[in-house]
Structure 1
């Protein structure tokens, strides 16, 4: 997905979709020039692909002639059949459903883990709404966040809340809890040393 975005931004994606333009046998000067420009662009795309592909994989695709050939080979190899894609998506859905925040996990760590799964689901064709992620996070926070979750749900319309807003709110509460905890520990030390 990242490579596709790069190639689209460089206006090279048509080479992946349609392949290299070739000039007919009785080509005009303009047709030959267009074919040469297409070949040059194809070399640039191949260079981008070669730079981003792991060395072990690179050795398996070096014999491909065009960037389209390389892309198609990689897509067949890694995306697999529709059956494989559906199985992968099912596994991701299950992982998302059972996901819960760990006791020692920070808000940022939990959001990163949750969003990584949601993004992988999206890359497999699932439409993951922002509200789905927001509600999942609110449902799966640890018990120490129960009062915070209740407060957020009562004071906000969670259907309109963005993931970033939720994360910001939970981070603020997490910092306050850490501040109170360190203050309590200082007081306990003073009492025990006093």
Structure 2
């Protein structure tokens, strides 16, 4: 019973950091990066949204709406940064760098559900390039792209789920492997631009 209660509390904690954007009856998963910013993957964001300053509404698991705007776009690493317009997010995760064999859970709004879904996996490898990608064994499920990837041990944010589809084309043949983007890389990029809007 204690384990079940503990698991439920953990899932509730990490799920509260996850959000979605509703666009033409589809949900785009996103996750809080820190008190000021939330992030998702670029390739799932509609083309008409992809401009600095574009207003979006982020909905959380309590159905609260947060006004934000597009603050950063990174084509190489395939992510979008949203900056909250009014105040800050109530909660923000700690961040850790992924390591091989780390156990994680991915939280996303799969299949257009307003309640988040969860899948679990282990980090299988880390990218040696500058894009900040890492890989795991939980597969690429519809709706998980842009969802938060959390360290199972303490709920720290490892990154965001990317999948293997970009602009409607398969970038690599990974089978059931999930590609993810490091949260620390995204935070580092924001810092490099001194919290100014960026598009690279």
TM-score if structure 1 supplies the norm length? 0.22
The structure in which a higher percent of residues are helix is 1
Question: Which of 1 and 2 has greater Rg?
Answer: 1
Higher RCO structure, 1 or 2 (CA under 8 Å, sep 6+)? 2
